[in-house]
Amino acid sequence: MVKIAITIDVEGYQRAGKDKYKCVEKTIPKLISLFNQSNIKITWFIVHDRWDTITKKFPFFIDKMDKNGELGCHVHFMDKKNKYNIAYDFQKELIGDATKFLRNKGFDIASFRGGAYFFNQDTLKVLEELNYLVDSSVIPGYYALHASNGIIKRKFVNFFPNKNINGIEINHKNNSNLSPYYLSKQNYNKKGNSKILEIPLVVNPILNIDIGCFSRFLSLPISLISAINDFSIIDRLIKRKYSDSYIVLNSHPINFYNNLDIKLKKLNNFIKEYKKRKVEFSTLREIYDDYQKRKI
Ligand SMILES: [Zn+2]
């Protein structure tokens, strides 16, 4: 059985300046009602950090999301001046604040995603200390450099690392895990025995079929938008030997902002089609529980 987890990183669009929350106001109420009508649960990664405090701006949306889905925590490791800072203490402070804020409101927070898909050994340590169960920041094979202003300088494969940037390096390129795994305390790209289950964003099995040798180096995050526009990706995954798997889709309010009604129609159609194919739409927490059962 294929389980699909739709995940949405609920955040403003920084580059829109004073209009940064327009995309949230326009898209989120419609997405909530579409998922309610389709009777599926999704995972909403709620941002709460120095860069964005969606939690305080839109408490009403967050209550509604919680009633019909899972709330996860999403943090960008940026300081007040919008500069990346990935020191352990700073990660602990930001994730700690966000988690406390959400849990104090009575939400059961167990899943985490790093801003820009950043994740390292210190992030793992913090998640363990805060009793998380799931991380979904890793895209196996992915590599990116983000400048300190958040602009992506380089993406995916990077054979010639250039660390002389004033920003962060997101490095999952030595990771070839195709399905969920417990993170290693020594190396977050490897399997190990920490308490945190990584449920990666991955379409690696498809690339394995299509371009063979590159699969170890290159993986694509399945974005919700590309999935609803191209059914064949998930169809192939379901038909092939990888049928017993989990697919994590990712999107953001800004991705729905233009042509919203057309995209909602397509999304509705996407959900209907895959329900017919006996695919289950699940939250990350539900995948976590399913994974525990399969291991026995
Ligand atoms: Zn984000």
143 found inside a domain: no
- Domain CATH code at residue 239: 3.20.20.370
Average pLDDT over residues 177-181: 84
Tally of structural domains, the chain: 1
What is the model's pLDDT at position 243? 58
Q: How many whole angstroms from 241 Cα to the centroid of ligand 1?
A: 33
> What does the pLDDT read at residue 277?
86
pLDDT tops 70 at residue 166: no
Ligand 1 centre distance from Cα of residue 223 (Å): 14
pLDDT at 165 over 50: yes
Taking the centre of ligand 1 as the mean of its atom positions, its distance from the CA of residue 55, in whole angstroms, is 14
203-247 pLDDT, tens digit per residue, is 654 444 444 444 444 556 678 888 888 888 778 777 765 556 888
Ligand 1 centre to CA of 218 (Å) is 22
For residue 75, the CA-to-ligand 1 centroid distance in Å is 7
Q: What percent of the chain has pLDDT over 70?
A: 85
Residue span of the structural domain in which 262 resides: 3-136+178-208+221-295
List, as ranges, residues with CB under 5 A of the ion ligand 1.
9, 11, 115
- Does any domain span residue 215? no
Pick from 73, 119, 115: nearest CA to 96: 73
- Residue 212 CA, ligand 1 centroid: distance in Å: 31
34 or 80, higher pLDDT: 34
Query: Which is more confidently placed, 245 or 118?
Result: 118
Residue 170 scores a pLDDT above 90: no
CB contact at 8 A, 115 and 49? yes
pLDDT score recorded for residue 171 = 85
Residue 153: pLDDT band (50, 70, 90) is low
CA of 169 to the centre of ligand 1 (A): 15
Confidence of residue 126 (pLDDT cuts 50, 70, 90): very high
Q: How far is the CA of 116 from the centre of ligand 1 (A)?
A: 6
- Ligand 1 centroid to Cα of residue 133, in Å, is 20
pLDDT of residue 109: 98
Residue 170 lies in a domain: no
Q: Is pLDDT above 90 for 24?
A: yes
Q: Is residue 99 part of a domain?
A: yes
Instruction: Determine the Cα angle at 167 with ends 166 and 172, to 5°.
Output: 135
Cα 296 to averaged position of ligand 1 atoms, centre (Å): 35
Q: Could you tell me the distance, in angstroms and rounded to a whole number, from the CA of residue 196 to the centre of ligand 1?
A: 20
Rounded to 5°, angle at Cα 74 from 72 and 78: 165
Q: Region 28-56: what's the mean pLDDT?
A: 94
Q: What is the CA(46)–ligand 1 centre distance, in A?
A: 9
Ligand 1 centroid to Cα of residue 148, in Å, is 14
Residue 152 predicted with pLDDT over 70: no
Is residue 80 in some structural domain? yes
Q: Is residue 164 part of a domain?
A: no
Q: What is the pLDDT of residues 66-87, one digit of tens each?
A: 998 999 999 999 988 878 899 9
Measure 187 CA to ligand 1 centroid, in angstroms. Answer: 23
**Residue 150 falls inside a structural domain:** no
Backbone angles phi and psi of 71, in degrees to 5: -100, 130
- What percent of the chain clears pLDDT 90, i.e. is strictly above it? 59
pLDDT at 151 exceeding the cut of 50: yes
CA-to-CA separations, 25 to 7, 29, 61, in angstroms, rounded: 18, 7, 9
What's the confidence (pLDDT) of residue 91? 97
pLDDT tens sequence across 279-293: 899 999 999 999 998
Higher per-residue pLDDT: 198 or 233:
198
Q: Is residue 79 part of a domain?
A: yes
* Mean pLDDT of the residues in the chain: 86
- Could you report how far apart the first and last alpha carbons of the chain are, in Å? 17
Q: How far is the CA of 254 from the centre of ligand 1 (A)?
A: 11
